[in-house]
Structure 1
């Protein structure tokens, strides 16, 4: 029978879930159907009373009716299929027993009974939850008809049997057909529910399902519940897998990590993939395995998973559920810990640091720029108009990172219509001729200086954008100085941001810059690194400040993924130029700016443009948090770098002793050549010219599209190297192994670190050096001054 109902084998657990789900759906249907059948029973009793003179025990009818009503009222309160089945069986038995009493003395009992026998059997057929209930209910129902059947003549019994056969066979079809339909619907519903709650690639929960389940778990916790912790897992350098080896390799890495988390997590853990390469696990803490130990073991287990060029690693942030926590607050603390783990060099576990003072990696909580500017001070003065638009000023703060305080505000031109609503930029700036642009630029300066007046925050400067065409106009420096003085400000309070355009000659800009400096203005070059801004223009103008284009924050080395911002900042600092980074929108970008020793930062994370000159209060806290992250990351990275470089320093020291004692170079340096990061090992003479020995190491590979090609025809590589840091540092500390770099090797074309040691061999200075491949993503870099 079961094989005819179910299309495939059904587990008892699945069958139980199906019956419980059917119970929820059939309660209201059974309640209505059985309540209506009581009305039918009442009509039967009234018809019997009116049409048949023979009296019958009325109390039996009333007692049966009361019993039926009580059974119907109990239906909404049923919690198990057994309770529901008992009510159904009791209901049909009572109904049939009452019918037996009603048909007595009617003179034609078969005619009175047949509709009840047929109707009750057929109407009840779809309502039975299980085949077992159906069989038991029908057997007991027909047993209840025996007192009636025993009063029938053979002819009546034959007719009764025909009707019973028809009704019962039809009821079987109804019941099992409806049961089969419900089961199919249940399986489809479960499949759709599973699909809606499951990440199709990894098989764990998706973000929406996790947030719902985690919220429910937190709400149901009691004082006796075990402690709960959240792990936020992020696969390191995941994008490089997709970029270098295809999305198939990336998918495999995701599945392997998900399976590892599922395999290690204790029972009752909620596991989900909530981002591209991000997983979360909300788990009860085990007494025999603290969360610290579990997180570290999970990190180590993931680090054993293969990827095409090595092994997968993951950074993990951990937060414990505290009183009053929501899913959002718990996720935020774990995310902050994950952020610190990634900043510390990845393949790390970091733990929460307590309640966050400001949101991390999220600027959505910041209030957007206001759409109205009625409160501008300039509205108390005659308005400046342009193209039927009122010109107004909005201000965005600039923050000194090392001083953690407001250093300036940039004035931005906006336009309001007659309803005081901001207009689109195209309405204000679109379709203007060069002369009109210059005229609007001058009006903008007037508008900003009127708006600021003498209300500039203490210690802050006003940054004014200026077009190159306006900047080079003869005599404008004196006009602008007059406007500044009229506004109650000093020219030293003004930083002129020279906008990036192609319509000015660098020589003219340089001469004009000198005139503005003579008036006391500070000069900044805006959007350096974008379009027409170049180093030649920068060095001719020699500005006091340079505002780097926001895209430079995200510029990275194509192989190692190392940010290049720090190197660019170092170059500008050596030219005595203060560096401003704009477009800082995330905590990652702010941390990168702090780490790169940027002087001033500007962006939505630190303050959005608004009509107010007073900045928000969250920026100093965000900056302080960024410095904390950088300090912790620096300490961690230096520890990692020391532990990575130490074996090479020790091995080179041992090799140096062997060389000094007369052991040949190939034998002395064999152990170094076999180490995994070794690109090449070489020995140089006293001036760094004569190459005494050179061999390629385990990490060496033919360079791809390298300028020097793969020149391996000679045994050694000639050249002069005494000007390189690895040479003179080793000579200054003769007998001690030192390291220098990273540098780009002109021999192997790799970004490398060179470990070297200076020796005396046969009264001649010899320098041994090993070139280490340091372009591999994830390797810690040494800290520069």
Structure 2
């Protein structure tokens, strides 16, 4: 809509904001203009005193000058438009009254007055904040000229000339004032639009992250001064990525818009709502506007759960935190983030409240700067001083000095430091690190072997006398160096010279194909005889395969970073737990490296990993002092796992119980003589049911089988089975567990269905009919992402 200069055409709220904003802009402009006008007044007074013989009104001029100066000094201190307008009116009136006195007694007062009359109003016109100020100021100013006008009595020609110039100056002033007023209003509108766009998320229409942080900071400070409570909700849309992947980004955008609308409609009017990025939203609300914080958070979750998505309804995990006297918005967000993390870990679609002050941020990844990450780690006591190390001759390679950086390894069950991995680095003559591409590029096999041996000597010397108590030194070694005849004795001698026991040294076999598995196996026995421990690095990548692992029989295995992030293709659940279980069955301890986020640390705890290593728990540095915060991070991960396991199991049991009750009811119907098809129909129609079946006393014959409602979702034709239950099933847990608890419905799993090749939970019950056992069972889809299935049922 085209803006207008008329104030009554501007909405009242906009008008006040516009005038307040104009006040900020006009103060410095008015201050400068009024200072210049004082200078013009002084020149006018000097000219009058110099050129006119009549007595000079010194007292009036000095009083006027002082008054004008005081008014100018008051300009920066005005806080309202009324104050600013009053200063302007007083200023022009005093200026004109002083001019009246100065021109009195001159031979041609009209010639002296006309420039002042024209200049004062024309120059002041743009400075008036509002048309009301302009009109009031003009009336008062021209009223101040009346003594001069009546002083021209008997000079009708001069009076006429004066009125003509007054009219000209007033019309010019009107053009200047209203033109500049319109310009300022258009500038204000543009500024508002730009501010709105800068502060608003364009997709959802709520505030963006920057605007929220600015507004929330002010809200937190005001609440702490007034001692009012605030609650912050951090909201994350569950499995949002699946919407974009399955139905396109348009469907994802629509879901986010609907979620934002649900948040705004549920939150009280004074609440701050914003999209923090991606599928994450935040709400900051005054607790005085809530009857119950817990009820409000649950109402928010329920409102979002009513938002549709193409395949059902959206759900969200919510983390809630309440303001404490020493909080900042950053600390409040941090605690809410930790609560949100626990809500997601516990199965999503629920609210989790803060547990109190957290010392462990949940978002600490490799993307954070090294300096900021290291600054958060308070070092432990310095290791003992070792003068012999300082006197040792540095190792040179390719115009660089080889140095050791050490990265800590932590035992999860004991929450203690159990080792440090020595990593080779190079420094130039100025002490700057040399890029790995420069240090290691273009090496032949012989040069790689030479550098490998030099690195061992360097690491052992640098760790001498500095290894933390109870910690082992992890050394990388090339397979070609590992199988070299007699090198185990040479390495043991270097360790002894450094004052280190080989039993405290772990040799990590790097991923390479320059040695056969048989040669590695024989060499491993020789190193064990010297006391060294053996580890296989990057298991699962390229040549570090299962055959090589079983031949070497290492003491530890380091899982490749990509392998630990492997997930089930349907449900997205991690496979790390199963990999760890496999290695533990081979009597091998598992090390997971590359742990960079709290989520990954929690995953290692859930998967019963033995040792972890990564940026989250300590970056490689020249210091051997372990980070003090790492044990707290590990302890926090255990807390999260314990809480989430309890919540997931509780929710899982609550969802399974109706299915078990239905199965028990079906068993009662079968005992009463109802056919299998009729007795199992209700169970088969369930949304999670893949198939139902009945088996004879030894798991055969198959008495009945039928597909369930979920079969079409999981059966994609990949199964190599013929689709029947012919065979023997009494070795499966669902069979013998039910047989042991005759007449009681139980569940077991997950197990891979032989018919659908999908993981399923199996609910089963064994009953006796005509002297024989009959088993009724139902396969339930384990991979359904919206269900709170625990990691192991």
Q: TM-score range by the shorter chain?
A: over 0.9
Give distance in 2, aligned partners of 1:76 and 1:323. 35
Match of 1:753 in 2: 761
Give distance in 1, aligned partners of 2:132 and 2:450. 90
Give distance in 1, aligned partners of 2:200 and 2:262. 17
Match of 2:602 in 1: 591
Match of 2:72 in 1: 72
Does the alignment pair 1:730 with 2:743?
no
**1:50-89 to 2 correspondence within 5 Å?**
50-53=50-53, 59-89=59-89
Match of 1:616 in 2: 627
Does the alignment pair 1:571 with 2:582?
yes
Does the alignment pair 1:253 with 2:255?
yes
Give distance in 2, aligned partners of 1:613 and 1:102. 86
Shift of 1:723: 3.0
CA contact 2:407–2:421 (8 Å) conserved in 1: yes
Give distance in 2, aligned partners of 1:303 and 1:435. 64
Does the alignment pair 1:22 with 2:18?
no
Give distance in 1, aligned partners of 2:462 and 2:748. 53
Match of 2:299 in 1: 297
Give distance in 2, aligned partners of 1:414 and 1:343. 38
Query: Across the two proteins, how many residue pairs are aligned to each other?
Result: 779
CA contact 2:520–2:552 (8 Å) conserved in 1: yes
1:743 to 745, 751, 754: 751
**1:528-547 to 2 correspondence within 5 Å?**
528-547=539-558
Name the CA shift for 1:222/1:319 in 2 (closer, same or farther; >3 Å): closer
Shift of 1:205: 2.5
* Post-superposition CA distance 1:159-190 (Å, at most 9, x none): 33432333222222111111111111122222
Q: Secondary structure of the residue that 2:41 maps to in structure 1? A: helix
Q: Secondary structure of the residue that 2:356 maps to in structure 1? A: coil
CA contact 1:471–1:509 (8 Å) conserved in 2: yes
Name the CA shift for 1:212/1:663 in 2 (closer, same or farther; >3 Å): same
Shift of 1:84: 1.7
Q: Secondary structure of the residue that 1:286 maps to in structure 2? A: helix
CA contact 2:233–2:319 (8 Å) conserved in 1: yes
Match of 1:779 in 2: 787
The unaligned stretches of length 5 or more in structure 1 are none
CA contact 1:703–1:709 (8 Å) conserved in 2: no
Q: Secondary structure of the residue that 1:504 maps to in structure 2? A: coil
Match of 1:398 in 2: 409
Normalising by structure 2, report the TM-score.
0.92
CA contact 1:638–1:783 (8 Å) conserved in 2: no
**1:302-317 to 2 correspondence within 5 Å?**
302-317=304-319
Give distance in 1, aligned partners of 2:792 and 2:266. 40
Q: Secondary structure of the residue that 1:409 maps to in structure 2? A: strand
Name the CA shift for 1:94/1:412 in 2 (closer, same or farther; >3 Å): closer
* Post-superposition CA distance 1:273-301 (Å, at most 9, x none): 22322222232212752322221221222
Match of 1:165 in 2: 167
**1:569-718 to 2 correspondence within 5 Å?**
569-701=580-712, 705-708=716-719, 718=726
Match of 2:363 in 1: 361
Name the CA shift for 1:103/1:529 in 2 (closer, same or farther; >3 Å): same
CA contact 2:684–2:708 (8 Å) conserved in 1: yes
CA contact 1:753–1:771 (8 Å) conserved in 2: yes
Match of 1:516 in 2: 527
Match of 1:337 in 2: 339
CA contact 2:645–2:790 (8 Å) conserved in 1: no
Give distance in 2, aligned partners of 1:267 and 1:377. 70
Is 67-76 or 145-154 further displaced after alignment?
145-154
Shift of 1:156: 3.6
Shift of 1:49: 4.4
Is 428-437 or 703-712 further displaced after alignment?
703-712
**1:47-126 to 2 correspondence within 5 Å?**
47-53=47-53, 59-126=59-126
Match of 2:219 in 1: 217
Give distance in 2, aligned partners of 1:459 and 1:59. 93
Is 355-364 or 582-591 further displaced after alignment?
355-364
Give distance in 2, aligned partners of 1:377 and 1:778. 62
Match of 2:141 in 1: 141
Match of 2:471 in 1: 460
CA contact 1:524–1:546 (8 Å) conserved in 2: yes
CA contact 2:234–2:336 (8 Å) conserved in 1: yes
Give distance in 1, aligned partners of 2:434 and 2:69. 70
Name the CA shift for 1:149/1:593 in 2 (closer, same or farther; >3 Å): same
The unaligned stretches of length 5 or more in structure 2 are none
Name the CA shift for 1:337/1:375 in 2 (closer, same or farther; >3 Å): farther
Name the CA shift for 1:61/1:312 in 2 (closer, same or farther; >3 Å): same
Normalising by structure 1, report the TM-score.
0.92
Give distance in 2, aligned partners of 1:772 and 1:167. 90
CA contact 1:376–1:611 (8 Å) conserved in 2: no
Give distance in 2, aligned partners of 1:8 and 1:100. 36
**1:7-46 to 2 correspondence within 5 Å?**
10-46=10-46
Match of 2:192 in 1: 190
* Post-superposition CA distance 1:321-351 (Å, at most 9, x none): 2222222222222222221121111122222
CA contact 2:688–2:709 (8 Å) conserved in 1: yes
CA contact 2:721–2:754 (8 Å) conserved in 1: no
Match of 1:431 in 2: 442
Give distance in 2, aligned partners of 1:120 and 1:144. 12
2:396 to 385, 395, 401: 385
Q: Secondary structure of the residue that 2:615 maps to in structure 1? A: coil
Name the CA shift for 1:459/1:113 in 2 (closer, same or farther; >3 Å): closer
Shift of 1:83: 1.8
**Coordinate RMSD, CA, aligned:** 2.8
